[in-house]
Every structure is written in structure tokens, then in C-alpha cells.
A and B are shown apart, each in its own frame.
Chain A
Amino acid sequence: MLKNVMGIIELGESDEFLKELTLHRSLAAVPFGGRYRLIDFTLSNMVNAGIRNVGIFVKHQYRSLMDHLGMGNEWDLDRQRDGLFILPPPKPLERDSTSEHDVDLLYPHLDYLERSREELVFVSGTSMLCNMDLTDVLDFHRAKEADITMLYSSNGDTRLASPGSTFLNVSEDGRVHDIEVGPLHPSTKNVSMKMFLMKKNLLMGMLDQAESRGDKHLVKDTFIKHLRDMRIYGYPFEGYVGRINSLESYFGCSMDLLRPEIWQELFFSSGSIYTKVKNEPPVRYNEGCTVRNSLIANGCVIEGHVENSVLFRGVKVHKGAAIKNSIIMQKGEINSNALLEYVILDKDSTVTNGKHLLGDRKYPLVIAKRTIL
């Protein structure tokens, strides 16, 4: 149990790459996996490990996120003491595609950190999806007597590395001896998961230092400077990691869920993934429907053909409609004889009779929320 650890989820990551999907919502609130939003994974990992105090440092466009989180009761974070805290910046921050200003998000709320009783803090973004037992990370952190433990993926999935990634050079005993932020030619395959565990007081000191020197980026500007004089360790996570850093990767990670071993691991391995419930009835498969290799959420009514696709809650697929290799978000309605291939249809959108929409695996066609085609 991580009783002495508080959680921080910082939403400073850039999200413009998701185009229409992040037009009205932050990356954390992007729907994923038929009934979740990206934030559900890291938030559930935290509460499954016993974290009872979670601060969510939001940047912009957080209405849908607040609606999703509510009072935190789905995560058992509606507590008398501690629980869920949503911490917006004191004045609006511009959406910035090039940098990730975590210091700008965290520093204004030093008070919240100060008042929290926990000794340690686990910090995470929301672009990395995994189901992880964080007690293992705490054990590692203690065993190494680390000042900072940074998590990296060691599962060899080459899709995780991309020009914007942060890489950790880790020696055999686990000590991080070099960090490369966004190199063109990384010298290692260890991709940082943008999650780390450290003493709360150390984080507060670092934020103060960074702010006073005009530094914006905790890892790049601060951690790197302390590689020699602090014990910074890398914790290798071997399990599945889905990384959302492009439209292609969003699509790819969604399709990963159609592999039962990944479905099993991501949703069950060290705890359940919680989300806002919708009270939808079971899926209704009507006469004449065909469904193959697909993930279907409750409330769907299926009369047509669905193949290699993810259907969110409350989607209707009418007779003669065909959906292949696509993601249909909440309450999408696909009318008769429509054909969708490599399409990401955002919430509450309708495809009328006979329309054909074709995208490509490398470039799925994104249809914005509440569109009628």
C-alpha cells in the first residue's frame, strides 16, 4: 500500500497531434478503449496501489475532464480527508505544441503540495497507458535508496520511440547516468514513461529552483543537472505500454486491445481500470448482424457488420452498414448501407444512409464530435 505516497497527474503534455479529438478536450480526456478516457489508466493504477490523495494539474480545455472525474467517486476518491483535487493554473496557459511546461503547472500550487501529509509523490502524465503495480516501484525506490525513480519501458516495443521521446541511459545497477530529451539519434532504447517517484520535499525544492531560474521543464532542466549528485534510478517496466503521441499511435493502441493478451493485461493484470459509469444496458446483437474481432461497449445495438473495430457505449449500427478497422465513439450512429474503413468517429456523430468514408491505417480519417455526415 502506498499510504505515504500522493499522486500528481500533470496534463502539460502537448496534444495537438490528435487534431479534432483534442479540439474541445485535453489529452487526458480523450476517449479510449470503448469506455475509458486516457486519464483512467494512470489514475486507476494510483488508487489500486492505495494512493488516496491525487492532484490533477490541468492546463486547458478541462470541462470534459471535470465532468468525467466528478467528485472522484468512481475511483473511491470522494474522501472526507484527501481525495481528488483538480488544480487549474491561476491564469490560462496558452496551448503550446512545442514544449511541455510542467513547472508552470506545478509551481503555482506549491501550497497544495505543502499541505499534503504524504512524504513521497508519484508524478505521471496521461499519454502512457499501462496496468502497473506501483507498490513494486516503491519497493524498488526504497531498495535503491533512490532520490528519484524514473520509470521506463523495457518491453522492446519499437513503436514507443519517436523523435519527441525521452530516453534513459541506465547502468546495470539501475542508476540513470544520462537522460536524452527528444534526441534525433537516441543512444538507448529505454523510453521514459513520463512517470517518476520522489520525495515531496525534493520536488518542491526543485520546483522552486526551476521557477526562480526561469526553467520550464522538470526533467530537461532540473533532473539532468542532478544526475551526478543525486541518486536517480530507472525502474524498468516490462509490461504492455501504449503510448499516445500521434493519431497513428492512438489508432494503433486502440487496435492493440483486439489482442486478447493485451486486453487481459491492460484491464486486469494488477487491478481494475475505473471510469465513469453510464448505466447502459448490455449490447444488443440483432438478427443478421456479423461482428468479428471487435471490442464492443455496453448500450450498443448492432444490426450490421462490424470487423476489427472498437465501438464505444451506445453506438447504433443499422442494417446493411459496415464498419471495418474503425473507432466509433459514444452514441455514434451508422445508418443503413454506410461503409466506414479506417475512421475515427468522435462522440455523438451520425453517418447517414449509404455514405462511404475511407481513411488509411497510417492516416485514419477523423470526424469531429457532433458531425452529421
Chain B
Amino acid sequence: MVKKECVAMLLAGGQGSRLGVLTRHVAKPAVPFGGKYRIIDFTLSNCANSGIDTLGVLTQYQPMALNAYIGIGSPWDLDRRHGGVSVLPPFVRADGGEWYKGTANAVYQNIDFISAYNPEYVLVLSGDHIYKMDYAAMLEYHKERKAAATIAVIGVPWEEASRFGIMDLDEEGRIVEFAEKPDEPKSNLASMGVYIFNWSVLRQYLEADERDAESANDFGKNVIPRMLNAGEPLFGYRFEGYWKDVGTLESLWEANMDLLGDAPELDLNDRHWRVYSVNPTQPPQYIASEACVHNSLVNEGCMVYGEVQHSVLFPGVKVGRGSVIRDAVLMPNVEIGENVTIQHAIVGTSTTIDAGAVVGTPRREKKLTVIGELNAIGPKAVVSGIFDR
């Protein structure tokens, strides 16, 4: 096999249980985002734009939609003769085989995959963050510092720091302390779940971690602390820019809303850093004479006859006459009848909402409404909160 300098491993097996009704049928990385994409597109596009051409995607929970979506990877230029994308589910071996027990164990079980490319470095990514990042620049930093591992970190508001894995760096950027969700954080630099390891070093630690029966086999909880305690040179790589963990329904809704406004922090229109995705075959959208669309993202195949304010519409969404959509995310093929009101809500794929229904409550009430996939909301129904049949 042709040697690769860097192989990426993308952890996409998590259920994302905090996304509730939206991850009943698909894994979190496959959840639709931003009017066109799925969450995993951002990480895959980062790889494409950073020149990473060898990537394993570790799947486990509800992998069907994700597998079908990734296919042979052509939307991200990952259909390669050498390398490219490989979907790696857990598998059976001569001595049994088991589910992926944790993030580190998932990579451990695929040591053969990585070794086949004989890489210098392994880039570990997660498929549930929205951001645009040049991994090549991070790899340069990693090489310059002669680090055993480099962890990407981002400054978060101090009051939120205790929700993250927090890194304390010295002046050189070396990690002196790592604390998972600390009560009293010493720094506001949070781990982004993006790691670069020297493969020879990581391999040893994965094997050691596997021998430790007490370990939860997790990078953040076990492998990184073990490396830190052993005195390995670990460095933090400060990332500037938009980064969002969309692990909860609220954060998913917020991240969608972050794309709106005249100058959003995450620029989807940047031709130098395209976000690639599988393009649905849909004609341009039709905006009718009586329609009114403001401050929104609307995708191909939509037909809008009503009013759309501060919302995100995925492909094939229909909005009937007299309906008002405000602060909402309407996933693919949602059909809204006439005189429907939707506020502060996420509506799952292919759900229909009949005439006169009222979904959600005004944003000031701070109660997000979420309707799962393939639901049918009857005429004049009133729905708020989490709803799934």
C-alpha cells in the first residue's frame, strides 16, 4: 500500500441521544444542518480543503443513512485509487469481536486499517461539530513543536467553560493540565475534539488503554490524561473562528440561526473554502407573488407562497399561502399547508403540517419546539414542545 503521511479517523458512531427525536433513525453526524448539509459535511469538507485524502469513518449507531450518504466519497473528492474514504463499522474477528466501547477503542479496533497506510500522523476528528478548519496548518504546528499529540482548542465564554474539556496551556502552548468538565476551570480553552497524534506513540497508548480494564476507552477521559501523566509533549493549537458543538436540540437550532444575518460568522458563500455535500436533484426554488422571505436561507426545490422570516428551509419544502414561518428550521420535504403558524421550531424531514395548525411558541418564551421525521400534524392542531408519533 502507498504510504500516507497522515490518516484521519472520523468518529461518527455516537447516537447523539440528546438530539432526541432527530436521531431516532439516523446517527448524529447525518442530521441535516444549514438548509443543505448534514453535520458531517463540515468535517468531511475540512478534510477535502486541507488535503487529507485518506479517511476512516467509524460508524456504529444507525449507520444506514450515513453509509448511503458518504457512499464512495465523491462529493468530497474522497473517491481515490489510493486512500479515499472507508466506512468502518465494528466487525467480527476470529476471536469474537465486539462493539466500539469508546472513542479510543473504536480507533484501537482499526489499528490494521491505519497501519496499512503506514502513516506518520493520525488525525482524530468527530463528526458532530460545525466549523471550518485547516487541518494542514494544525499539522504544521504539530511538526514544529515536535509534539507527541496536538489538541485543537478554542476560547469559550468563562461561564460555559465547565461544560467542556478544559486545557491549561503554558506560554509555549504546551498542555500542563487537562480537566474534563471542571467545576472551577483554570482556563477557558476548550478541547474541540480534534487531535493529531504521532502514530507510533498513539499506537502504544491505545494498546495500553485497551489492557486497562478500568478504562472507559475514551480519548478525552483516558488516553489524553494518560499521555499527560507520562510526560509526553502535548500541545494545544489555538483555533480562531466559528466552532459549535451541536450536541443538543437547542444548540442545533442556535447553530442554524447563526447562519442568518447579513454577515454570519460562518460564511457558507466563501468560494475558497466550500462546504461540499451530496446535492439533491432539485430545480431552483419558486418564490410566489404573495410570498415574503426575509433574513433566511432557502434551498433548491422549495415553493414558498407564505411568509418566511429568520428561518432555514431545506430542499423541497413547501410553504402554503397565508402561513407564517419564524425562527424555524424546516428539514427536507416538509410540507406546510395554508395559514399555518410555525415559531421557534425544528420540523423533521418529510413531516406534513396541515392548514391552520399552530406549531411552537414565540421565541421570547424560550421553549424550542421539535417535531420528528415523517409526522403528520392535522388541520388546526396546536403543537409545542417535543413531538413525535
Query: Across the two chains, which residue of chain A brings its CB closest to B268?
Result: A281
B300 within 8 A of partner (CB):
yes
Are A285 and B291 touching (Cβ within 8 A)?
A: no
Q: Are B279 and A296 in contact (CB under 8 A)?
A: no
A284, B294: Cβ atoms closer than 8 Å: no
A281 to chain B, nearest CB (A): 4
Known: A260-B303, A273-B281, A293-B288. Contact between A285 and B269, CB under 8 A?
no
Interface check A113, CB cutoff 8 A:
no
Cα-based distance from A288 to B274 in the complex (angstroms) = 27
Bound Cα distance from A296 to B300, whole angstroms? 8
In Å, the complex CA distance between A33 and B286 comes to 11
A297 adjacent to B284 (CB under 8 Å): yes
With A291-B287, A296-B285, A296-B287 as contacts: A283 and B297 at CB distance below 8 Å: yes
Nearest to A266 among chain B residues (CB) is B283
Inter-chain CA distance A274–B284, complex, in Å, is: 12
Q: A285-B293, A292-B291 are in contact. Are A298 and B299 (CB under 8 A)?
A: yes
Cβ of B262 and Cβ of A283 under 8 Å apart?
no
A285 lies within 8 A of B296 (CB): yes
Query: B34 within 8 Å of A by Cβ?
Result: yes
Q: Which residue of A lies closest to B288 (CB)?
A: A293
CA distance A64 to B47 in the complex (A): 30
Contacting pair A260 B286 (CB below 8 A): yes
| B residues less than 8 Å from A288 (CB atoms) | 294
Contacts of A289 in B (CB 8 A): 293-294
Q: For the complex formed, measure the closest distance between the CB of B266 and the CB atoms of chain A, giving whole angstroms.
A: 10
- Decide: A33 and B284 in contact? CB cutoff 8 A: yes
Decide if B294 touches A281 in the complex (CB within 8 Å): no
The answer to whether residues A285 and B295 also contact, given A279-B274, A297-B300 and a CB cut-off of 8 A, is: yes
Which residue in chain B gives the minimum CB-CB distance to A311?
Answer: B284
Query: When the two chains form their complex, are residues B296 and A295 in contact, meaning their CB atoms are under 8 A apart?
Result: no
Given A282-B313, A288-B294: A301 and B269 interface contact (C-beta under 8 Å):
yes
Report yes or no: A282 in contact with B284, Cβ–Cβ below 8 A: no
Given contacts A260-B286, A293-B288, contact A281 B295 (CB under 8 A): no
Confirm or deny: A143 has a beta carbon within 8 angstroms of a beta carbon on chain B.
no
Whether, in the assembled complex, A349 has its beta carbon less than 8 Å from a beta carbon of chain B, the answer is: no
Chain A residues, Cβ within 8 Å of B287: 291-296
Complexed CA–CA distance, A295 and B300 (Å): 10
Residue of A nearest to B292 (CB): A290
Are A34 and B281 interface neighbours, CB within 8 A?
no
Residue B35, interface by CB 8 Å? yes
- The total of interchain contacts (Cβ-Cβ below 8 angstroms) comes to 105
Q: Give Cα A281–Cα B308 distance, bound, in whole angstroms.
A: 18
Taken together as a complex, chains A and B put the C-alpha atoms of A283 and B277 apart, in Å, by: 15
Docked-complex contact B298 and A283, CB < 8 angstroms: yes
Is B289's beta carbon under 8 Å from chain A? yes
A286 adjacent to B283 (CB under 8 Å): no
Does B142 lie at the interface of the complex (its beta carbon under 8 Å from any beta carbon of A)?
no
Complex-state Cα separation, A297 to B303, whole angstroms: 12
Separation of A299 and B286 alpha carbons in the complex (Å): 15
Interface of B is mostly: loop
Q: Which of chain B's residues has its CB closest to A307's CB?
A: B289
Contact of B36 among A282, A285, A290, A311 (CB under 8 A): A282
Contact between B277 and A296, CB atoms less than 8 A apart:
no
- Which chain A residues lie closer than 8 Å to B75 at the CB level? 279
User: Using a CB-CB cutoff of 8 Å, which residues 267-283 of chain A contact chain B?
Assistant: 267, 272-274, 277, 279, 281-283
Is B219 engaged at the interface, CB distance under 8 Å to the other chain? no
- Interface range on chain B: under 10, 10 to 19, 20 to 34, or 35 or more? 35 or more
* Interface pair A299/B269, CB less than 8 Å apart: yes
Q: Would you call A282 and B35 a contact (CB within 8 A)?
A: yes
**Is A229 engaged at the interface, CB distance under 8 Å to the other chain?**
no
CB distance from A112 to the nearest CB of B (A): 28
Smallest CB–CB gap between B310 and chain A, Å?
A: 9
Let me know if A263 is at the binding interface, CB within 8 A.
yes
Complex CA distance for A290 and B287, rounded to whole angstroms:
10
Known: A284-B269, A298-B299. A279 touches B277 (CB 8 A): yes
Contact call A283/B299, Cβ cutoff below 8 A: yes
A267-B269 contact, Cβ under 8 Å, with A284-B297, A287-B294, A298-B299: no
Q: Contact between B286 and A263 (Cβ–Cβ < 8 Å)?
A: yes
Whether A274 contacts B281 in the complex (CB less than 8 A), given A291-B287, A293-B287, A293-B289, comes out as yes
Chain B, 138-156, contact with A by CB distance < 8 Å: what is the 0/1 string?
Answer: 0000000000000000000
Residue A35 CB within 8 A of the other chain: yes
Report the separation of the CA atoms of residues A267 and B281 in the bound assembly, to the nearest whole angstrom. 10
Chain A proximity of B71: nearest CB distance (Å): 12
User: A279 and B276 in contact (CB under 8 A), knowing A286-B262, A294-B287?
Assistant: yes
Does A224 interact with chain B (Cβ within 8 Å)?
A: no
A302 to B260, CA, bound (A): 13
- What chain A residues lie within 8 Å of B308 (beta carbons)? 285
Q: List, in ascending order, chain B residues with CB within 8 A of A272's CB.
A: 281-282
Nearest neighbor of A34 in chain B, beta-carbon distance: B284
Q: Is B275 an interface residue (CB 8 A)?
A: yes
| A40 to B: closest C-beta gap in Å | 11
Q: Could you tell me if A296 and B284 are in contact, using CB atoms closer than 8 angstroms?
A: yes
Tell me the minimal C-beta distance from B74 to chain A in angstroms.
8
Closest to A274 in B: B281
Are the CB atoms of B294 and A283 closer together than 8 Å? no
Of B34, B74, B299, which is in contact with the most chain A CB atoms at under 10 Å from its CB? B299
B279 — nearest CB in chain A belongs to which residue?
Answer: A277
Q: How far apart sit A310 and B295, CA to CA, in the bound complex (Å)?
A: 20
Determine which residue in B282, B285, B289, B298 has the highest number of CB atoms from chain A within 10 A of its CB, and name it.
Answer: B285
Q: How far is the CB of B201 from chain A (nearest CB, A)?
A: 37
* CA–CA, A293 and B283, complex, Å: 15
Contacts of A274 in B (CB 8 A): 281
A87 to chain B, nearest CB (A): 26
Most chain B C-beta atoms within 10 Å of own C-beta, residue among A258, A263, A284, A295: A284
> Lowest 3 CB-CB distances: which A-B pairs, in order?
A34-B284, A281-B268, A282-B35
12 contacts between A and B (CB under 8 A): A35-B283, A279-B276, A279-B277, A282-B36, A282-B299, A287-B295, A292-B288, A297-B284, A298-B299, A298-B300, A299-B269, A310-B284
Query: A33-B284, A266-B283, A281-B34 provided; 4 other pairs, C-beta below 8 A?
Result: A279-B275, A279-B277, A292-B287, A292-B289
